[in-house]
């Protein structure tokens, strides 16, 4: 069964394929389509609202089962920022390095460095079924980046296994916000597929 992952982030695609492949799910993304997906303006005030906007747009265009997520880093000392603005924290055209630089600058005088990654996933199926799941991973903001793996804020996020940019993919999947949300989605999709898909 083929699912469209409504993201341009190939790292997210890889994570989702790793976790969902045991169900016999093949994950494709925009690059596998004949035409690009429409740009979706993320006007939601929550991760859930933005994930739904992306999923609804992709389903309308393709008619395929769609999985969309919205995720980000929430820092307690910054009142939950960058939150839904995580990917564009330092500006609309900013990359990960610029976002991290801004974050570390704001954290210089902060003693509370606790933070968490949050992920909200929406799965829309052509029969009208909607499956939602969210996940969260607690950690701390490090004083400087460590590691070259991962993406986004991973180099400055200290998890129980170490920097998100230093740990293995298996370790990250076991504790990450997206890994936890996807495992919840996995269980619900497994039940759905057993009940609705027959040879």
Residue 155 sits in a domain of what CATH number?
A: 3.90.950.10
With cut-offs at 50, 70 and 90, classify the pLDDT of residue 1.
confident
Residue 154 among the catalytic residues: no
Cβ proximity of 49 and 59 under 8 Å: no
pTM: 0.89
Helices vs. strands in the chain: H and E counts, helices first? 5, 7
Domain count, the chain: 1
- pLDDT tens readout for residues 112-138: 999 999 999 999 998 999 999 999 999
Structural domain span for residue 185: 2-196
For residues 76 and 169, the model is more confident at 76
Output the CA torsion 10→127→193→12 (10° steps).
Answer: 10
Catalytic option among 70, 132, 134, 154: 70
- What pLDDT shows up at residue 197? 66
Residue 154 has pLDDT above 80, yes or no: yes
- What pLDDT shows up at residue 136? 96
- What pLDDT shows up at residue 198? 58
Q: What is the mean pLDDT of the chain?
A: 93
**Mean pLDDT across the stretch 5-32?**
90
3-state class of 124 per DSSP?
strand
Cβ proximity of 67 and 5 under 8 Å: yes
Residue 199 has pLDDT above 60, yes or no: no
Check whether the bond before 82 is cis (ω within 30° of 0).
yes
């Amino acid at each position: 069964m083929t699912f469209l992952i409504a993201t341009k982030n190939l790292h997210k695609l890889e994570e989702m394929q790793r976790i969902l492949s045991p169900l016999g799910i093949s994950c494709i993304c925009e690059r596998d389509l004949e035409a690009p997906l429409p740009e979706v303006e993320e006007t939601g005030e929550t991760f859930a609202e933005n994930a739904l906007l992306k999923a609804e747009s992709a389903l309308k265009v393709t008619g395929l089962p769609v999985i969309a997520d919205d995720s980000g880093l929430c820092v307690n000392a910054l009142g939950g920022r960058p939150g839904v603005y995580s990917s564009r924290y330092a500006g609309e055209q900013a990359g990960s390095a610029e976002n991290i630089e801004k974050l570390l600058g704001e954290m210089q005088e902060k003693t509370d460095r606790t933070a968490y990654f949050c992920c909200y996933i929406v799965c829309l199926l052509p029969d009208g079924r909607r499956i939602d799941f969210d996940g969260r991973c607690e950690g701390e903001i490090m004083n400087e980046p460590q590691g070259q793996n991962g993406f986004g804020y991973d180099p400055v996020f200290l998890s129980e296994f170490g920097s998100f940019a230093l740990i293995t993919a298996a370790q990250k999947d076991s504790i990450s916000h997206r890994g936890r949300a996807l495992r919840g989605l996995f269980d619900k999709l497994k039940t759905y597929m057993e009940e609705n898909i027959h040879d």
